[in-house]
Amino acid sequence: MKKMTMLALAAVLLIGTTACSKKAEQGPNSNASTTFMHLHGLGYSADGKRLFIPVHNGLQLYADGLWSEGPGVKHDYMGFTAVDDGFYSSGHPAPGSKFKNPLGLVKSTNDGKTITVLALEGEVDLHGMTAGYRSHVLYVVNPEPNTKMKQAGLFYSKDEGKTWTSSPATGLQGQMMAIAAHPSDAAIAAVGTTTGAFLSKDYGQRFTALVPEQPVSALAFTDSGNVLVATSGPNASLIEINIESKQSLVIQTPSKDTITYVVQNPANPKELAIATEPKDVFLSTDRGATWIQIADKGKTINRK
């Protein structure tokens, strides 16, 4: 396998890069069913009561069996990552917004009612981005030089985007599909590529194979520091891996479709949410023993 160069790492941004059309997705604030054309991530609120799904125009929320629109201006959030006090994101501002396009790095601490620009407004759309749930360290795949990052490639920030440090990413192979940061240890990050899952314990300086020789479509850290890895292809599976012992556990999934996002509820370790390539969304409250479907090809399903 050929080693991945920094240019290739930045150029092949396959994390939520489906092109967004400018046709608005209609979704009333009531609990009526709606349909979203794109799905750009998954994330829970800190209390675990609300599941956030960034779509083309704003956030969709699923809580207590019902769907609703998120508050605030309907920005096109990309690189969405929920943390213990809100979420970080990038993307594009809503039509008529006061923000420059692209958004750069933004943060919200009130479910998206308002956002604060932290860095790079009008400069870059960071599709490939993640953040430590409690550490708040940011890892991004920078697509092109800008005022904060002088080259394309993998970077991290410990101060919410004020300063950035380049990561050589030695040992990383394949085209990048997903990136995740350890919830509390800022130095640990995982990357999924077309050739496997890779782990770094030194801020992305060096990566070693965690799941070799299998394409990985999505990954996420659990609250305990294990990694949830979704592989794709004929032998697709969802596995939970202990990064110290390398022991793994297969989690049963309700669909054979490629998993595009996976997340654990921070308030309930047994609750998982996954999204698949056709924009189906499923929830499990017993770590995969049973699942309920809450979206079918982008159409929301109320369970009450």
In the chain, where are the structural domains located?
41-267
Residues 153, 65: Cα–Cα separation, whole Å:
40
Helix (H, G, I), strand (E, B) or coil at 43: strand
* pLDDT interval class at 30 (50, 70, 90): low
Span 51-73, average pLDDT: 96
Query: Poorest-confidence range of 15-19, 86-90, 113-117?
Result: 15-19
Q: Is the peptide bond before 102 cis (omega within 30 degrees of 0)?
A: yes
Q: Do 149 and 189 form a contact (C-beta atoms < 8 A)?
A: no
Residue 75 vs residues 22, 40, 89, 112: alpha-carbon distances, Å = 12, 12, 10, 9
| Sequence-distant (≥ 6) Cβ neighbours of residue 273 within 8 angstroms | 42, 44, 51, 261, 262, 263, 265, 281, 282, 283, 284
Contacts of 140 (CB under 8 A, 6+ apart): 79, 126, 128, 129, 130, 154, 155, 156, 157, 164
Task: Give me the sign of the Cα torsion angle 86, 122, 129, 63.
Answer: positive
Beta-bridge partner residues of 26 = none
Residue with tokens 């981005």: 129
The pLDDT of 9-24, averaged and rounded, is 43
pLDDT in tens, 247-287: 999 999 999 999 999 999 999 999 999 999 999 999 999 99
169 near 204, Cβ under 8 Å? yes
- Please state the φ and ψ torsions of residue 180, each to the nearest 5 degrees: -145, 150
* Higher local confidence (pLDDT), 124 or 25: 124
pTM above the 0.75 mark?
Answer: yes
Q: Which of 267, 263, 274 is nearest to 84 (CA)?
A: 267
Of 43 and 2, which is predicted with more confidence? 43
Nearest by Cα to 228 from 245, 244, 201, 248: 248
Residue 110 pLDDT greater than 80, yes or no: yes
pLDDT for 106 beyond 90: yes
Q: Which CATH class is domain 41-267?
A: mainly beta
CB atoms within 10 A of CB 236: 17
